[in-house]
Amino acid sequence: MPGLHQHVGKIFADLAVPDPLADGGDLECRSPVDGAVLGTLTSHTPDQVSAVIARSQAAFEQWRTVPAPVRGDLIREFGQLLREHKSALGTLVSIEAGKIESEGLGEVQEMIDICDLAVGLSRQLHGLTIATERPGHRMMEQWHPLGVVGVISAFNFPVAVWSWNTALALVCGDAVVWKPSEKTLLTAIACTGLLRRAARAAGAPEDIATLVLGGRQAGEVLVDDERVALVSATGSTRMGKQVAPRVAARLGRTLLELGGNNAAVVAPSADLDLTVRAVVFSAVGTAGQRCTTLRRLIVHRSVKDDLVRRLTAAYRSLPIGSPLESSTLVGPLIDDAAGQAFTAAVGTARAEGGTVVTGGTVHEQISQELGGCYVRPAIVDMPAQSTVVRTETFGPILYLLTYDDFDEAIRLHNEVTQGLSSSIFTLDLREAERFVSATGSDCGIANVNIGPSGAEIGGAFGGEKETGGGRESGSDAWRNYMRRATNTVNYSPDLPLAQGVTFS
């Protein structure tokens, strides 16, 4: 699409952040909208990444002494800048990640929301006062800043997930080093530039939030450096299985948000009008490239035909095209490799006995016209026993499974290795309560009468099993970014020992 490069330049000018695009670097900044290279950037060498970590450590040692409510002032400034530049940043997300207009703006709103939460949290980093058996003593628990936090983010949420980590880490007194996906470098540079502007306004250390660019090599330095107290990594399960043991080998901490193979159960009593709306967004939003995308639909046999008819009609009416057009609901896949994975998965589903109900092909006309990789979202009716259904494909493929009794639905739901998000559509109170109970969904997120995709800032976000077990965003996720100290203060002249021990 002509003019995207110039559009990016105008966005950086609007943000008052230097335009980073130049010739000669090894990292291509490519837009999935038209597949064209916007410009190039240069990777950091391992020595340069190490130097960034050293500067971040020095900034942390200064920042941790600043009172938490004062640290909150930095995030307040950052949130205000995000509000002022929401439109420009949202467009940049659409250009670089391929999200439709409303989703690009929604991702920036997520950053604003986490800033609001973090500012309030800066006055609530509370510990406990604990009853002690020893007279004249007080026992309490405090939370202290942890250190340097390394954030490794994925392309599908190029700025929101970083902000979840960064807003909380900064009010907790930490420093942050961010290695974004190589596929979404411009949004990372833009957000880091705005945060640095906020840091100057708030009087915070310059290197409290830094950025390193590069591929696997840059990430490995973050993973292996003992000065990085916590590595928060978002990506595939395969990536997480490589990161976790390397950080554990140096006894560091990890916060992992990995793969999802999310399902929704549709019960006989489900409101099908509501179900269709929720399923379509959850399955095709972000062109099926969310970690919370709905990938498996487990439908009771009695309502399957009616639901499939409605879903098929909805899918065939979906506007597919440039995410920069306000009428578009399905934008491009991130690159051609994603398109190849999509078509390969559909082929595997057919080979395993699946029937393609609708979609499942590259949209050749739009792909040729615009230059990116655009596909027709697929619905595939599958037998229960199949390999592809248990595999996460980052694309808009919805597998249909059929059940006859509720126990069977729960079994089908839980038998995959991933455990991120889940939902049930039912008006039966017993089914709803069973689904969110200990004997129901085994995921970190379990919803009733809403889809599995899309989460509010106030709740902790994350999953179980091969999703990694991490929790980000709301609730008590802030504790990931702090260390706990238990303190006992003796204000008596005596020295009684716990458990009645005597040592005279």
Active site residues: 257
With contact defined as beta carbons under 8 Å apart, do 110 and 160 qualify? Answer: yes
Which residues, in sequence order, are bridge partners of residue 146?
none
370 Ramachandran zone, left/alpha/beta (phi>0; psi -120 to 50): alpha
Sign of the torsion formed by the C-alpha atoms of 471, 476, 481 and 487: negative
Tell me how far the alpha carbon of residue 255 is from its chain's centroid: 12
CA 342, 347, 348, 353: dihedral to nearest 10 degrees? Answer: 130
For residue 392, which of 421, 367, 355, 424 has the smallest C-alpha distance? Answer: 421
Buried b (16+ CB within 10 A) or exposed e, 472-496: bbbeebbebbbeeeeeeeeeeeeee
Taking the C-alpha atoms of residue 70 and residue 203, their distance in angstroms, rounded to an integer, is: 10
With contact defined as beta carbons under 8 Å apart, do 314 and 280 qualify? Answer: yes
State both tokens at 210.
Answer: 């830094």
What one-letter code names the amino acid at 14? D
Beta strands 397-403; 294-300: pairing state: parallel
With contact defined as beta carbons under 8 Å apart, do 99 and 148 qualify? Answer: no
Sequential DSSP letters for 189-240:
HHHHHHHHHHHHHHT--GGGEEE---SHHHHHHHHH-TTEEEEEEES-HHHH
Taking the C-alpha atoms of residue 52 and residue 121, their distance in angstroms, rounded to an integer, is: 28
